[in-house]
Structure 1
Amino acid sequence: MTSRPSRRAVLAGATAATAAVSLAATGSAAHALSTPSQADRQRLRRLISRMSLEEKVGQLFVMRVFGHSATDPDPADVASNQKEIGVKNAAELIARYHVGGIIYFTWAHNTRDPHQIADLSNGIQKAGLAQPTPVPLLISTDQEHGIVARVGAPATLMPGAMALGAHASREDTRIAARVAGAELAALGIRQNYAPVADVNVNPANPVIGVRSFGAAPEAVARLVAAQVEGYQSSGVAATAKHFPGHGDTAVDSHYGLPLITHSREQWERLDAPPFKAAIAAGIDSIMTAHLLFPALDPADDPATLSRPILTGILREKLGYDGVVVTDSLGMAGVRQKYGDDRVPVLALKAGVDQLLNPPVLSVAWNAVLKAVRNGEIEEKRIDESILRILELKTRRGLFRDPYVTHKGVDRTVGIRPHLVAADRVSERTTTLLVNTGRLLPLNRRKQRNLLVVGVDPAAPSGTGGPPTTVLAKALKELGFTATALSTSTGSRPDPTQEKIDAAVAAAKGKDAVIVATYNVSAKSSQRSLVSSLAETGVPVIHLAIRNPYDIARITGARASLATYSWTDVELRAAARVIAGRARPVGKLPVPVPRGDDPDQVLYPIGYGLSY
């Protein structure tokens, strides 16, 4: 991870042909539904009136559950469920706690393959409709694409947010979300925790980074709105996150409590525009941030628990009346001050509707039940949140037909038009930062024999990898001879001297070396890897496969590109650019500060070479 640079130049910089994929082709037109009618609302209010208090409290919770099946998970998943939740499977979870939603995770073994996901979704819906008061569930996941993806291949994998920000095309961004939304809907997933609406004005941000569209607020706002339109036109609830803005943090809220030092005026100018654009686009849900923002609320409480922020600003000032969902309640950022029994109660009092993934569901569920029974939270306040949640479920067609089919999966998920769209969108995001002596594009006749070396971080499950192998394979398919050599050691991106020496030896006799780097810091041995390869006299092409800031720490490379992610789709696009099969048209969506003086900008927003 890079050390935290000064933000003066970065804050200053932050303010300073499309593949056709139709809704008909994705089979999702039927899910593009309108706002619930007055008759719908009356029907939903009657439904709420029939619910027991326990059922009402359950509707507020979105919970994880282990297993590939709603009723018959593997024994290890049964053990995990019993240990963490006190139930055997998803069906028992729903019967006991009446949860309104379930979130899918790869590590919970929810997302093995498309047919399995569809069957799991159907099993969950069957359990929901078997309750005393039948209610379909809202199934959700984090499918941001790029470095965060819970559903992998054969589903279509799109570029992540910052890659899309490099092309800044509303149409490409909308298409990426439309394809992703159609495939999620076909799997029974009707709420996606995307897009990220944070404006990444801090290069050292440890948790947002390339998950953001960029550092220019208005540009981010345009692309956030495009993704909202894309997801929701495909029948999936979009979720703008993380309100009131997580882009200028130096602490990861999974492990600590970040502090935002922006003034109220800076918030209006830097952080607010994407959320305003999402609201104007009709966003279904907004996720809260576990961070302190004293200019918006001087109390020592994270935004998730702040009534001035969630009700005073989000509801009243911005006029948002959709669903507000917490970020995971298992994260350290929301658990440092209060116990797990108080956090969900305080979140509801602040203005939250959905309580996401508490660490111990029984503690959270009983705490909310007790708060309503003893009058700390009025039941009518709970009813307001439930109505919002049920209206969202109505908009997404869950009351009409919550089930999916294998046939629908097969004609939607990973189909050729979607894969072609992903490739075309991806190659328009690759950004060329350096091209000394016009090294690129490579001449296949004169520079045929290539070595691909560098870091091989673990890719999001199902998204491919390892990167050096994927890149070498892509270059071979384009007519080059390419050898892959990883310099990683386990999960460590920085190579040992032994790995560097091996890479230097392998470079001898090659026509060019392509070296992939990952979050290069001032002390990273990845710097030595690049400079040592350059000293061999073999032309070095540098590829930053996560944050584009690596170039500020690199010396000796004759060419440098940024891909913003190491997933297969973006690496294949970079290979086509290197080979001259596609032109580099991406432009930096963030400024890159100098490595030796972070107050100065090395490459500004909008910089990018072409040929």
Structure 2
Amino acid sequence: MRDSYRDPRQTPAERTTDLLGRLSLEEKVGLMFHTVIESGPGGSLVETTGSLSKSPTRTVVRDKHMNHFNVHGLGTPREAARWANALQRLAAETEHGIPVTVSTDPRHAFTENAGASFAARGFSQWPEPLGLAALDDADIREHAQIARREYLAVGIRMALHPQVDLASEPRWGRQFQTFGADAERTTRALVAYLEGFQGPDLGPDSVACVTKHFPGGGPQQDGEDAHFPYGREQVYPGGGFALHLAPFRAAIAAGTAGMMPYYGMPIGLELDGEPVEEVGFGYNRAIITGLLRERLGFDGVVVTDWELIHDNVAQGQVLPAKAWGVEHLSPAERLITVIDAGCDQFGGEECTDLLVDLVRTGHITEGRIDVSARRLLELKFRLGLFDDPYVDEDAAERIVGSPAHSDAGFRAQAASVTVLRDEGPLLPLRPNEGRRVYVEGMSAAAAAELGTVVGRAEDADLAIVRLPTPFEPRDDLLFESLFHQGSLEYRPGLVARLRGIAAVTTLIVDAGLERPAILTPILPLATVLVGTYGTSDAALVAALTGRIRPRGRLPFEIPRSMDAVRVSHEDIPNDTADPLFPAGFRWSGASE
């Protein structure tokens, strides 16, 4: 007789109940770990320790009974599909054949940061979420729908996004993946995003979204990121906690499959007059059980952010466990605390034997393990993974990064360009009118559409300079060099060089805005000043020439000075005094 859990005529809940009763403790515990995995050459399984993965693939699947993996390195679309199929075949060899849920951080834009996102290699390339937020809800929905199709084609069934933290602290290094500073704009963007990825109901054509970082990761003290010990505090000097919570309320109403709490520990926070323990959100029972589960009624999967239990050592560097406020606890005690807080999965960990031992010794009940295992299994059934986890390699090659998808991403890159100043006006530029063009930070091939590229500004009729967002380089801890933090001011030598260029020719400046750079010294030098959030050189040219109309609006304000940033409230969006440009700004001369 066929096992009930294999019968697609049964409901996901019924199939879950049947399978849960058949699983060993080790299999249930394996469900509760969600770590990094990488593909091998040609789409093969990696059977050695990878650059970031901690164990060979066969070890985590067969020996540790794990079946949730956050994929980092992928090959071509065909190779990615081949790898996903090989992984599912390996999982099918286990006793109950529990299929793998492959997840990913965002991988459709420009930023390569193994701790947060991946550049689009093979996938269609779009602006960062900040750039999507500069556009309209329809643009966000189109992006999500296309990203869903591409994820499905290579077997990715869970998105570790959207990130709906409010970018209320201008210095914070994670805001390039947010939808900006405004809670209402973020909420509308979130709903469109979830509709595009998940559809009206979770099913075989859905990619399950894990909305993050509950209850809002934006108000980091001094803008330092909670990946690192010096950024562990989240603060609310303006009393703005409820504002940061608003997008997560909307995510629950819109049916997000999962939630991820951030690393940060709340300082001086009270809920209903009761002080909240000053420990990281993943450890925080008042936040996960009291607020998320009980008050907001969320019964989906809660997966912690990565590496709360053990230090991460890779590539010759260490990143301490993000056990903020509970650094003194042992790994076993940290596991107990996270489970007691109400979380279902340990992100970035694979210490399954430790959790099994805690159950065997009576520190955690098997009934509590069953609660999380049930949520995790039912999501797999709802996604249709038990019925058909495999993908078509030919289709993956045809769908991922297809001309239609890539064209849509290119249009969004160009359209998201935000015109901040256009004196003259100078825009739109006519393509190659015999002008001579000097460029910095831009390829000569892209600039050739605008004129003959010359090597000196003084020989040019027009100069175009693309500037990255300022930051303070750091490289002591693992991943630290990838997180752009600290001051938002351009270095004085750069400003002096731009002044020299502006003195001899007409200057167009593109300011990269992964964070709100202090543009005050740049503004008087540039005839045209634009801001971008992930735009290729070719897409910038398309915007400057008007071939694709630049219609982006600032997703956050641009502060006038670092002094204004330092005295603003970390938890109140758009809170700097007398900003140079307000949130939502676009040059009034820009055509509608």
Please state which band the TM-score falls in when normalised by the shorter chain. 0.7 to 0.9
Give the aligned residue type for 1:142. D
Give the aligned residue type for 1:260. Q
Which residue number corresponds to residue 30 of structure 1? none
Question: In 2, Cα distance between the equivalents of 1:218 and 1:170?
Answer: 12
Offset of residue 72 of structure 1:
5.3
1:247 aligns with 2:218: yes
- The answer to whether the 8 A contact 1:307-1:350 is kept is yes
Q: Give SS of 1:94's match.
A: helix
CA spacing shift, 1:442–1:597, aligned 2, 3 Å: farther
1:118 aligns with 2:84: no
Which residue number corresponds to residue 415 of structure 1? 402
CA spacing shift, 1:531–1:209, aligned 2, 3 Å: farther
CA spacing shift, 1:425–1:132, aligned 2, 3 Å: same
CA spacing shift, 1:237–1:433, aligned 2, 3 Å: same
Question: In 2, Cα distance between the equivalents of 1:143 and 1:71?
Answer: 20
Moved more, 231-240 or 60-69: 60-69
- The answer to whether the 8 A contact 2:489-2:517 is kept is no
1:370 aligns with 2:351: no
Which residue number corresponds to residue 573 of structure 2? none
Which residue number corresponds to residue 339 of structure 2? 348
Structure 2 unaligned regions, length at least 5? 1-7, 200-204, 313-318, 471-487, 565-576
The residue correspondences of 1:289-308 to structure 2 (distance < 5 A) are 289-294=262-267, 295-296=269-270, 298-308=276-286
1:225 aligns with 2:194: no
Q: TM-score, normalised by structure 1?
A: 0.80
Question: What do residues 481-537 of structure 1 show as CA deviations (whole Å, max 9, x unaligned)?
Answer: 346xxxxxxxxxxxxxxxxxxxxx7212111111111223436133233223223x2
Match of residue 463, structure 2, among 503, 508, 513: 513
Offset of residue 591 of structure 1:
0.8
Question: In 2, Cα distance between the equivalents of 1:441 and 1:513?
Answer: 15
User: Aligned-pair RMSD on alpha carbons?
Assistant: 2.5
Question: What do residues 111-151 of structure 1 show as CA deviations (whole Å, max 9, x unaligned)?
Answer: 12111111111111111111112100110110254325436
1:424 aligns with 2:372: no
Bigger helix share: 1
| Percent identity of paired positions between Structure 1 and Structure 2 | 30
Give the aligned residue type for 1:557. A
1:561 aligns with 2:530: yes
Q: Give SS of 2:510's match.
A: strand
CA spacing shift, 1:39–1:245, aligned 2, 3 Å: same
Match of residue 334, structure 1, among 322, 344, 354: 322
- The answer to whether the 8 A contact 1:243-1:275 is kept is yes
Offset of residue 480 of structure 1:
2.9
Offset of residue 443 of structure 1:
3.4
Structure 1 unaligned regions, length at least 5? 1-35, 455-467, 484-504
Offset of residue 447 of structure 1:
6.6
1:99 aligns with 2:95: no
- The answer to whether the 8 A contact 1:431-1:563 is kept is yes
CA spacing shift, 1:263–1:378, aligned 2, 3 Å: farther
CA spacing shift, 1:593–1:122, aligned 2, 3 Å: same
- The answer to whether the 8 A contact 1:512-1:538 is kept is yes
Which residue number corresponds to residue 93 of structure 2? 130
Q: TM-score, normalised by structure 2?
A: 0.82
Question: In 2, Cα distance between the equivalents of 1:550 and 1:202?
Answer: 14
CA spacing shift, 1:100–1:306, aligned 2, 3 Å: same
Q: Give SS of 1:581's match.
A: coil
Question: In 2, Cα distance between the equivalents of 1:260 and 1:333?
Answer: 17
Q: Give SS of 2:464's match.
A: strand
CA spacing shift, 1:69–1:282, aligned 2, 3 Å: farther
Offset of residue 162 of structure 1:
0.6
Q: Give SS of 2:416's match.
A: coil
Give the aligned residue type for 1:129. A
Offset of residue 335 of structure 1:
3.1
Give the aligned residue type for 2:78. H
Offset of residue 80 of structure 1:
4.0
- The answer to whether the 8 A contact 1:518-1:547 is kept is no
1:58 aligns with 2:30: yes
Q: Give SS of 2:529's match.
A: strand
Runs of 4+ in 1 over 6 A off after TM superposition: none
- The answer to whether the 8 A contact 1:174-1:230 is kept is yes
- The answer to whether the 8 A contact 2:447-2:541 is kept is yes
Q: Give SS of 2:234's match.
A: coil
